[in-house]
Chains A and B, each alone.
Chain A
């Protein structure tokens, strides 16, 4: 059951009630049962996988703490990381690699032993796998003690708000909270519900609406002209932001109601003035995870090579980020592009900050606006590889964008509804970025204004949010 399903809207209140009637000492257990119920409802078989990863992680983290030998500790860490990565690797990449080998050998008329198989990807596996790995490495690095209660470890890995799409949390943030006295209180309810409301708005009114339009164009690239394709590619980042950002807010809001503080995942990314800053604001839980567990160890190992070492570390980190998103050549290219952008910025950084401070450019409206737009456009260009399914499609996109002009394909319904949603979203972020604390609506000090804001957003969700599959853009070819 995804957050936007009727089932979840029945499940969550039930969990709250159960939570409330459980004695505080056992509330973590209620959450554990609820989390497994949640996951088994989506993927019965893969609940087993989650349990196995939990068992392995519990065993090896305890071993790391109980062993004195530095070598043995490192060995246990690596073993668990490999065990936990195996299912991810298998489900996500086996098909791609197997198909690749199959096709390669076919060109030479050799028959590969394994047939082409497709596996259904266990939902959430990319997320909770990373959480388990992070926890293992943290125990090894002595950031946190191995948790003795296996139920708490199981809860950390399977916690239902986070298990589907993150944010990718850390053991040293979540485990102490799970072990503390969890209480319900009105303040947390209010904050959590507000986050959920805005999250649903972002997902249902903005993301899903734009998605219909973008899907229509990208499914028929050959029929659309370059101008339409450019426009579509330029608004795709907004769809992803509203989708993952909205979903994350719901996850954070749900957790907040249960008395748990989960890290934010997005921080108004479109106001970044450089790709480096962008990646400090976009999908933050993933980036900090990659920074702490991939980039830092790599750049540390390569530190002898100075700038070249940093570039290599960046490239490897972002290629890993790319293939984490998807097992295709397109995502590898996506990762490489991010690595290139960031490497160039890293090399030019000293010069840039010097010029910026000499001419006080950071407070220059034109300068900031230019770089906000540049950063956004660069990201949109890289996102073509995230959206187009095949490499050929990506090439087609750029070909048409450069050479083919024509009238913009855009239907009234999409335009009207998404304009409302996008403007509201961007204005809200704009206000938070530059006028923080002013012109508040959800957080206004007057209750009637807050109430009106909640009603307005809720009505928008009901009336123009994508609540069922009955939407399609009718385009006659």
Chain B
């Protein structure tokens, strides 16, 4: 039995050691990754960020705001920090990390975040867990047992290896242009809006969203809460909730969910939620107009 126990111990020691070494190697490539989501996460959590206009959200933001266009027309530096599929539990520690070292002039946060009810995307922050107290706090709060599993590098970088090497070269300050789709699914050709889902917002999500906006506002940032133009009818209940949350925090609501100048032009959309590059340029221009009206530049 002793021999067996010895062999078992040897196995575990070697497992932890090889896992750790593999982690060092992968971490190195992770930092250099050209995958746009990983790049944005790296830039956001490791920085240093010093842009004046920052965009937060998931894919409904990453394809919709052309940071370079903002810079060209307003002279303000800009970065689109949006990351596919990431909800408010990603955005909040990201904001805290950035505000530690820099106060941007403007932040846009998508209210579409509030519909994200599952928390699986927090795995995107695992590579920063051990070095970032804000990430650690949020992860520990949402999934209390993760700290044990995160001692294993394989768990931190689980399934990331292919993604780390799957990227593109041109990062347009975080913005990801979608080329207009030629063959679109049939139901986009119809002009009526589809009935939207009912979006319940969990208390936890609400809390974090309010914390996000309040934290930005108390750091002197002008915060815009963004309702995207989507080809699903957003229900009144959800819209009102977003409105009241925005008003209670001192942020401004920019609501494109009923903007017919966008919604009527199907050629600007690639699917029900995502604008293509043509649509993004138009939307960015509209946002720039808001900035001008509010005296930001």
Residues of A within 8 A of B (CB): 6, 185-186, 189-190, 193, 223, 412-413, 416-417, 447, 451, 454-455, 458-459, 461-472, 474, 476-477
Contact = CB atoms under 8 A, between A and B. Distances in A.
Given A413-B159, A476-B270, A477-B271, A468 B85 contact: no
Contacts of B182: none
B154 A463 contact: yes
Task: Determine the interface band of chain B, counting residues with CB < 8 A from chain A.
Answer: 35 or more
26 contacts: A185-B1, A189-B4, A412-B162, A413-B162, A451-B7, A451-B11, A455-B14, A458-B15, A462-B152, A462-B155, A463-B22, A463-B158, A463-B161, A467-B155, A467-B158, A468-B123, A468-B155, A468-B158, A469-B118, A469-B123, A470-B120, A470-B159, A471-B159, A472-B120, A474-B59, A476-B271
A185 B148 CA distance: 30
Given A468-B123, A472-B120, A186 B166 contact: no
Given A223-B185, A463-B154, A455 B15 contact: yes
Chain B contact residues, majority secondary structure: helix
Nearest to A193: B8
Contacts of A471: 120, 159
Contacts of B8: 189, 193
Contacts of A458: 15
A458 B11 CA distance: 10
Interface of B: 1, 3-4, 7-8, 10-11, 14-15, 18-19, 22, 59, 84-85, 118, 120-124, 145, 148-149, 152, 154-155, 157-159, 161-163, 166, 185, 270-272, 274
Given A413-B163, A464-B161, A476-B274, A186 B3 contact: yes
B161 A468 contact: no
A459 B22 contact: yes
A427 to B, nearest CB: 21
Contacts of B148: 6
Given A186-B4, A223-B185, A462-B155, A470 B15 contact: no
Chain A contact residues, majority secondary structure: helix
Contacts of B84: 474
Contact of B10 (A185, A451, A461): A451
Contacts of B85: 472, 474
Contacts of B161: 463-464
A8 to B, nearest CB: 13
A185 B1 CA distance: 7
Contacts of A454: 11
Nearest to B17: A455
Contact of A465 (B158, B185, B270): B158
Given A6-B149, A454-B11, A467-B158, A459 B19 contact: yes
A446 to B, nearest CB: 13
A92 B159 CA distance: 36
Nearest to A470: B123
B162 A416 contact: yes
Nearest to B23: A463
Contacts of A468: 120, 123, 155, 158
B125 to A, nearest CB: 10
User: Which A-B residue pairs are the 7 nearest by beta carbons?
Assistant: A462-B154, A470-B123, A186-B4, A469-B120, A463-B154, A470-B120, A413-B162
Nearest to A184: B1
Given A470-B122, A472-B85, 5 more contacts: A417-B159, A463-B154, A470-B120, A477-B271, A477-B272
A461 B271 CA distance: 36
Contacts of B152: 462
Contacts of A451: 7, 10-11, 14
Nearest to A458: B15
A463 B272 CA distance: 35
A461 B155 CA distance: 9
Nearest to A466: B159
Contact of B7 (A447, A466, A472): A447
B263 to A, nearest CB: 18
Contacts of B10: 451
B185 A477 contact: yes
A459 B163 CA distance: 18
Contacts of A470: 120-124, 158-159
Nearest to B1: A186
Contacts of A223: 185
